[in-house]
């Protein structure tokens, strides 16, 4: 109880309330009490012209971190237009304006000002509404509305363009969650008009939502006519406007969208028993797509990213890149998602038993309508048909960047060769066991050493420091001196994956100069091994290591001879196969 722990503040409250009671004739009663043995209350009677309001002021459990509340002592009594459903008066001192220098006396003064202003006087019976500080977020407005539908600028613009008295059918995509029903409009099919499709709705929603057909009507009804207080039945209102609603009345339940005269969208769930529910409109006023992204990310939608390894690190990299604007992915992974993966992966129990790559593909396609994903359920360094592996490597070589999130040396060697031959940049990362830290590195053709050379340089760097090797037990785990297995957490993986993502984006947007002066970083997350403390970042200078320059090691004559021989082989194949002629 705050008033026992903070006696000085309690004494101050007593003083200021006593002073207010003695100075103001409108405060007729100020009596302290403790409710339920722990809530400090003040019983107060506040007089305004013509009446007296019996009130109670309750001090919150964490006072003075938040303000006292004032409400009528009688339940369900309405005193003001500024009053919450619980009966609490909405005063000038609320959680958004409160600070600890304000006291309960100030709250009582605010209550008196509100009630006096809105109380009609004998010489002027008209009621004056008190000024409002009403400013609610979208979330606050919707928390008691469990039926919702999404409306943004493209949808509103389309409905405004429809001719008067237009009607037809709508296809909805509906999400039935544990608490809410959320409707997305997928398409409009107006009578005698071309069908319209919602431009940014991801097709992937078809796998997780229900498709429901409804009806729409563009009316001349005012918005007031469609308010709860005025509305007996949406279908009766439509019938009065000479719309044919026989189909709606024949259905047990249906969706009906009524567009009022001002362009307002009013969505109802109707039934043939004259029962109905109204959907709350979730307004999304986007000036432009991805308006929260930095300007230099706007061209990322044209890039293709190849990611090998969709484990805990690779899954985070893929999702982050999609949120940043990448729309084309080539994913390679062979593994299945198991319950033990939940502690660090982007997937969850809904994906257990599925291939990781399929779960991530689904997540990516839910991020944006234009996401394209190619998936290869292949282990590049495993027992696979050579032609299959070679085909996947060729596909990776056509990407704008290759990201290796496998932490597998054999796979890194394969991808290093592809990146070097195809002159494609590459980023790779590794999470060190026990969450001690990680490593990120890059290869930019003709600027950086190739990945194989960089790995040798890192090994030599560590050998010079004579550091002991970390004993690995399993994925992202190590064994400490006491024999205990210590594992990297989701937070550890997230930090290394996030920095690898930033390095990849730096390459894709071609920042000059790069945000990363070095091409290899060791990132510490806790003290130990090479790291002095958390966030100890060690850039490793590779300037003395020669970058991989793609140049021929053959003489001009050798090059000419090789090209001539290849040309002969091609000509021979054409002569043997008439279909190629």
Task: State pLDDT tens for residues 287-307.
Answer: 555 567 788 898 999 999 999
Give yes or no for residue 424 having a pLDDT over 90.
yes
Quickly count: other Cβ atoms within 10 Å of residue 370's Cβ.
Answer: 14
Q: Which two tokens stand for residue 278?
A: 């109204």
What is the predicted pLDDT for the residue at 564? 77
Q: Chain-wide mean pLDDT for the chain? A: 88
Non-local (6+) Cβ contacts of 346 within 8 A are 312, 315, 316, 318, 319, 360, 363
Tell me the helix, strand and coil percentages in the chain, rounded to 5. 35, 25, 40
Confidence category of residue 125, pLDDT binned at 50, 70, 90: very low
Note whether 407 and 430 are within 8 A (CB): yes
Quickly count: other Cβ atoms within 10 Å of residue 139's Cβ.
Answer: 7
Confidence category of residue 478, pLDDT binned at 50, 70, 90: low
Quickly count: other Cβ atoms within 10 Å of residue 78's Cβ.
Answer: 8
Ranges 129-133, 295-299, 422-426: which has the least confidence? 129-133
Quickly count: other Cβ atoms within 10 Å of residue 278's Cβ.
Answer: 16
Q: Which two tokens stand for residue 488?
A: 């990297």
Give yes or no for residue 577 having a pLDDT over 70.
no
Task: State pLDDT tens for residues 252-290.
Answer: 888 999 999 999 999 999 887 777 889 999 988 755 555
Strand partners, 372: 328
Ranges 258-267, 446-455, 480-489: which has the least confidence? 480-489
Give yes or no for residue 353 having a pLDDT over 90.
yes
What is the predicted pLDDT for the residue at 470? 63
Task: State pLDDT tens for residues 410-421.
Answer: 999 999 999 999
Give yes or no for residue 130 having a pLDDT over 60.
no
**340, 346, 350, 354: CA torsion to nearest 10:** -70
Long-range contacts of 321-325 (CB under 8 A, 24+ apart): 321/501, 321/504, 321/505, 322/364, 322/367, 322/368, 322/371, 323/367, 324/293, 324/297, 324/300, 324/501, 324/505, 325/290, 325/293, 325/297, 325/298, 325/300, 325/301
Note whether 400 and 424 are within 8 A (CB): yes
Task: State pLDDT tens for residues 20-73.
Answer: 999 999 999 889 999 887 899 999 999 998 899 999 999 999 999 999 999 999
Share of the chain above pLDDT 90, in %: 64
Report the relative pairing of strands 167-176 and 181-190 from DSSP bridges: antiparallel
Share of the chain above pLDDT 70, in %: 90
Q: Write down the pTM of the prediction.
A: 0.82
- Separation CA 294–CA 301 (nearest Å): 13
Distances (CA, A) of 159 to 182, 217, 240, 551: 20, 10, 22, 60
Note whether 213 and 253 are within 8 A (CB): no
Give yes or no for residue 16 having a pLDDT over 50.
yes
Q: Which two tokens stand for residue 505?
A: 């984006």
Residue 19: is it exposed, middle or buried by C-beta count within 10 angstroms (0-12/13-18/19+)?
Answer: exposed
- DSSP-based three-state secondary structure for 370: coil
Task: State pLDDT tens for residues 181-220.
Answer: 999 999 999 998 899 999 889 999 999 999 999 999 999 9
What is the predicted pLDDT for the residue at 82? 86
Q: Which two tokens stand for residue 314?
A: 């690779």
| Mean pLDDT of all residues in 388-399 | 96
Ranges 221-225, 273-277, 498-502: which has the least confidence? 273-277
* 3-state SS track over 233-300: CHHHHHHHCCCCCHHHHHCCEEEEEEECCCCCEEEEEEECCCCEEECEEEEECCCCCCCCCCHHHHHH
| Mean pLDDT of all residues in 343-348 | 96
Non-local (6+) Cβ contacts of 236 within 8 A are 274
- Separation CA 64–CA 40 (nearest Å): 12
What is the predicted pLDDT for the residue at 535? 96
What is the predicted pLDDT for the residue at 239? 87
What is the predicted pLDDT for the residue at 580? 53
| Mean pLDDT of all residues in 133-149 | 82
Ranges 81-95, 220-234, 346-360: which has the least confidence? 220-234
Report the relative pairing of strands 69-72 and 280-284 from DSSP bridges: unpaired
Q: Which two tokens stand for residue 76?
A: 């369900």
Phi-psi region of 540 (alpha: psi -120 to 50; beta: other; left: phi over 0): beta
The CA angle 517-314-202, to the nearest 5 degrees, is 110
Nearest alpha carbon to residue 234 among 265, 208, 210, 199:
265
Give yes or no for residue 442 having a pLDDT over 90.
yes
What is the predicted pLDDT for the residue at 562? 78
Non-local (6+) Cβ contacts of 37 within 8 A are none
Which has the higher per-residue pLDDT, 286 or 392? 392
What is the predicted pLDDT for the residue at 44? 95
Give yes or no for residue 133 having a pLDDT over 90.
no
- The alpha carbon of residue 93 and the mean position of all alpha carbons in its chain are separated, in whole angstroms, by 33
- Separation CA 574–CA 571 (nearest Å): 5
């Amino acid at each position: 109880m705050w008033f026992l722990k903070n006696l000085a503040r309690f004494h101050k409250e007593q003083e200021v309330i006593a002073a207010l009671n003695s100075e103001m004739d409108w405060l007729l009663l100020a009596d302290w009490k403790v409710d339920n043995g722990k809530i400090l209350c003040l019983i107060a009677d506040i007089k305004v012209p013509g009446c007296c309001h019996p009130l109670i002021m309750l001090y919150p459990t964490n006072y003075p971190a938040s303000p006292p509340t004032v409400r009528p002592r009688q339940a369900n009594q309405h005193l003001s237009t500024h009053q919450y459903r619980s009966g609490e008066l909405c005063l000038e001192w609320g959680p958004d304006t409160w600070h600890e220098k304000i006291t309960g006396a100030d709250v009582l003064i605010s209550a008196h000002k509100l009630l006096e202003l809105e109380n009609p006087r004998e010489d002027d019976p008209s009621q004056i509404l008190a000024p409002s500080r009403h400013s609610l977020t979208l979330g606050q407005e919707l928390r008691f509305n469990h039926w919702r539908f999404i409306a943004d600028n493209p949808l509103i613009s389309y409905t405004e363009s429809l001719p008067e008295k237009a009607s037809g059918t709508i296809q909805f995509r509906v999400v039935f969650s544990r608490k809410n029903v959320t409707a997305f409009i997928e398409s409009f099919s107006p009578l005698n008009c071309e069908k319209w499709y919602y431009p940014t709705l991801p097709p992937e929603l078809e796998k997780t939502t229900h498709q429901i057909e409804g009806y729409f009507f563009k009316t001349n009804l005012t918005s007031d006519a469609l308010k709860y207080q005025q509305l007996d039945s949406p279908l009766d209102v439509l019938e009065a406007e000479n719309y044919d609603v026989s189909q709606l009345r024949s259905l047990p339940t249906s969706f009906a969208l009524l567009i009022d005269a001002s362009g307002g969208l009013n969505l109802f769930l109707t039934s043939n028993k004259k029962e109905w529910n109204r959907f709350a409109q979730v307004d999304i006023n986007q000036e432009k797509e991805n308006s929260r992204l930095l300007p230099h990310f706007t061209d990322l939608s044209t890039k293709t990213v190849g990611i090998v390894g969709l484990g805990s690190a690779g899954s985070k990299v893929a999702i982050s890149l999609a949120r940043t604007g990448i729309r084309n992915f080539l994913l390679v992974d062979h593994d299945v998602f198991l319950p033990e993966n939940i502690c660090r992966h982007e997937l969850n129990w809904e994906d257990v038993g599925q291939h990781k790559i399929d779960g991530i593909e689904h997540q990516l396609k839910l991020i944006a309508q234009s996401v394209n994903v190619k998936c290869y359920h292949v282990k590049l360094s495993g027992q696979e048909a050579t032609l299959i592996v070679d085909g996947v490597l060729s596909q990776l070589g056509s990407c704008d960047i290759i990201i290796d999130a496998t932490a597998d040396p054999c796979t890194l060697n394969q991808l290093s060769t592809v990146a070097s031959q195809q002159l494609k940049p590459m980023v790779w990362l590794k999470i060190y066991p026990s969450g001690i830290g990680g490593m990120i590195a890059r290869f930019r053709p003709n600027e950086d050493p190739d990945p194989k050379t960089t790995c040798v340089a890192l090994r030599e760097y560590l050998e010079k420091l004579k550091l002991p090797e970390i004993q690995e037990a399993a994925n992202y785990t190590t064994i400490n001196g006491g024999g205990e297995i210590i594992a990297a957490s989701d937070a550890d993986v997230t930090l290394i994956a996030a920095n690898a993502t930033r390095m990849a984006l730096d390459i894709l947007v071609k920042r000059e100069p790069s945000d990363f002066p070095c091409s290899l970083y060791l990132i510490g997350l806790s003290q130990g091994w090479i790291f002095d403390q958390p966030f100890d970042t060690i850039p490793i200078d590779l300037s003395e290591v020669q970058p991989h320059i793609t140049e021929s090691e053959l003489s001009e004559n050798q090059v000419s001879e090789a090209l001539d021989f290849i040309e002969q082989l091609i000509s021979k194949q054409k002569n043997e196969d008439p279909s190629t002629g």
